[in-house]
Chains A and B, each alone.
Chain A
Amino acid sequence: MKLTADGLQNLTILGIFIVICVVGFLLEPSLFISSANISNILVSTSSTIITASGVTLVLITGNLDLSVGGVGAMAGVLFGLFAKAGVPMGLSAVLAVLCGMLCGFLSGLIISALNLPSFIISLAFKYIAGGIALIGAGGAIISAGLPGNIGHLGRVVLGIPLPIVYAIVIFLIFMFIQNKTVFASQCYAIGSNMGAAKLSGIGTVRVVSTVFMLTGILAAFTGVVITARFSVADSGVLPGFENDCIIAAVLGGTDINGGRGTVFGMIIGALIVGVLTNIMNMLGLRIYTQNVVKGVVLVLAIVLNNTIRKKVKV
């Protein structure tokens, strides 16, 4: 049986995932396998899965979105501000997500219409959105004056935390988009050869702005859910979130040069990041030491991708 590159990639990272889980189990046998810890891993991974579903598509079109952390923080703070001002909880969430959508749409439009490098535009939006979050929360957190039902979106229903449900639903939607829609094919086409895609009549501006808009929506939604989960709107939330999303997507076999990648691979990548973070937390590594590990993982993941692509040409 011959495997495709994507198949081999998925098998490899599944193997890595199992190895990491076994290592975690061996290190802390009783703690790692406890239901509280597993639910903890899944809830914290859910943020990455939600946003990285969009980031994967962005990477497939050959672009990069560094703004998701900033947009998430902005939406989380705006959600808190709206709710505090007396807007009904549901409407505040929608408004906050709309703001995130606007950010994503604007960055996508500028990138595609003017043919500019995505990282610099999204970096600018990261700082703009992050700045708005800081202004909104006065550089700190908003906890006083929030309505009682602010935690509604992040509560536990029938023993399952809602963030996990959101992650699964969004994952399924994006699996559908990736496998069954023309839109996804257009994304792949743009990522593999922008010029050819344009010449074959694909509206590159429309597709790229839509992809960025979707990512903006998802990032904003993540921020809203986090605010709901903790019942606090924190301006400093989601630091380094864009790195986590990119690492998850790249671990899942998404080519950083565009044109290849799967949402399914991304979910395993996100779980690897989640479990790795969990193990490092259990070992007592500080968040800054974890960054060193993440930097190394990012490079290794890209090298793994490139090696598999070279070996398997299908």
Chain B
Amino acid sequence: MKQKGLNLSRSVRQNIVLLALILVEMVLFTIMNGRFLTLYNLMNIVRQNVPNVIIAGAMALVIISGAIDLSVGGVMALSAVVYGKLCVWGVNSWLAIVPVLVLGVFIGWVNKFISETLGIPAIMATLATWLASAGLALTLCQAIPISDPEVKPITVLNATKLFGGKIPLALFISVFFVAVFLFLEKRTLLGKYAVSIGGNANAAIFSGINVRRMRLIYFSMCSVMACLAGIWQVARLGSADPKIGTGMEFSVLSACILGGVNIKGGEGSVLGAVIGVYLLAILTNGMQMMNIDDFYQQVVIGIVLLGAVLINQLGSMYAARKALLTVGKKAAGNA
């Protein structure tokens, strides 16, 4: 029996709905404010959301695999401060990126060690690393942003514009990392393993997947991307500010959930998470253009997150019911 109409998978349909929502948002904000739909503003959105986009891909994989990483905000701050310190100590501003990335792998290992080896739920484990890394970042620089001239060379990343000074490098960086994560998800085993571990970790172990090693990979990817995001913020601000990561875990999580990643694991896509980032980003930007206070934005984003979780859950409950009904009908047909 063939289904009527377009036979699209749930995630594709979800992404189409999200893209439509983005379109609605853009039309709405364009009507309300003429300055919204300008190349400058759009590129601004892209530039502001480089950290969110590059973390979201990795975070999506972590959540799909049934874990969670709350530590990204702290890791971002820590990486920025460590990077700043390294620069001040005289390390070349490009070479300094390498030890920071090693730090990211290390934090990923710590997350995996606490959650897998010590058997502590990932939420608690990463809550602890979040507290520790954010505290460490503030301690290292005594809560004062590092804005010595030694950290300035990296700002060239933010300032570079291509195509006649119109398109910032940020766009290409975002596209590059999105492409990398899409590749990792679709063309390597990382994506498939994440779904199977998140769907049923025990079944994954019995089918020969090295769950501990995969968790190490996912957590490290997430922390490394958080470190890169931290360095990007240094490039954007020209100073290593220990507060840059505040609320980061919240906005990235919200974006992932908006993008249809199941918070319980086993379901979701990198592309959805990326679309989720821009959905939130445009919402925030539009509200800023309308001069709505930051505080209201926090409430709105909280409500959006709540709504997204509810809709996702209701959607998957509905899908499960429909699947059950189809099975029932088939059984009835056979009998």
Residues of A in contact with B (beta carbons under 8 Å apart): 64, 110, 114-117, 119-121, 123-128, 130-132, 134-135, 139, 240, 243, 246, 256-257, 286, 288-296, 298-299, 302-303, 306
Contacts and interface: CB of A to CB of B under 8 A. Distances in A.
B29 interface: no
Nearest to B299: A131
A110 B143 CA distance: 38
A123 B128 contact: no
B118 A114 contact: no
B245 to A, nearest CB: 13
Nearest to B136: A292
B124 A116 contact: no
B114 interface: yes
B127 interface: yes
Interface stretch (B101-109, B189-197, B217-225, B304-312): B304-312
A295 B264 contact: no
A104 to B, nearest CB: 14
B299 A127 contact: yes
20 contacts: A126-B302, A127-B298, A127-B301, A127-B302, A128-B298, A128-B299, A131-B295, A132-B299, A134-B298, A135-B293, A135-B296, A243-B127, A286-B139, A286-B143, A288-B143, A291-B131, A292-B131, A295-B131, A299-B124, A302-B120
B314 A114 contact: yes
B130 interface: yes
Contacts of B299: 127-128, 131-132, 135
Interface in B236-255: 247, 250, 253
B303 interface: yes
Nearest to A300: B128
Contact of A292 (B114, B121, B139): B139
B302 A125 contact: yes
B62 interface: no
A289 B135 contact: yes
Given A123-B253, A243-B131, A114 B310 contact: yes
A116 B132 contact: no
A115 B298 CA distance: 25
Contact of B306 (A124, A243, A298): A124
B52 interface: no
Contacts of B142: 286
A103 B135 CA distance: 29
Nearest to B71: A295
A110 to B, nearest CB: 7
Contacts of B135: 288-295
Interface of B: 68, 114, 118-121, 123-125, 127-132, 134-139, 142-143, 247, 250, 253, 257, 263-264, 293-299, 301-303, 305-306, 309-310, 313-314, 317
A106 to B, nearest CB: 9
Nearest to B139: A289
A240 B81 CA distance: 21
Contacts of A130: 298
With most chain A CB atoms within 10 A of its CB, the pick from B128, B129, B143, B296 is B128
A120 B310 contact: no
Contacts of A139: 293-295
Contact of B124 (A135, A291, A298): A298
Nearest to A310: B119
B132 A64 contact: no
Given A116-B309, A139-B295, A288 B139 contact: yes
B127 A117 contact: no
B120 A256 contact: yes
B56 to A, nearest CB: 16
Contacts of B118: 299, 302-303, 306
Contacts of A117: 263-264
Contacts of A115: 313
B296 A131 contact: yes
Contacts of A257: 121
Given A128-B302, A299-B120, A120 B132 contact: no
A292 B136 CA distance: 6
A155 to B, nearest CB: 31
A120 B128 contact: no
Nearest to A303: B118
B264 to A, nearest CB: 6
A132 to B, nearest CB: 6
Contacts of A246: 124, 127
Given A116-B309, A303-B118, A298 B302 contact: no
B309 A134 contact: no
Nearest to B249: A123
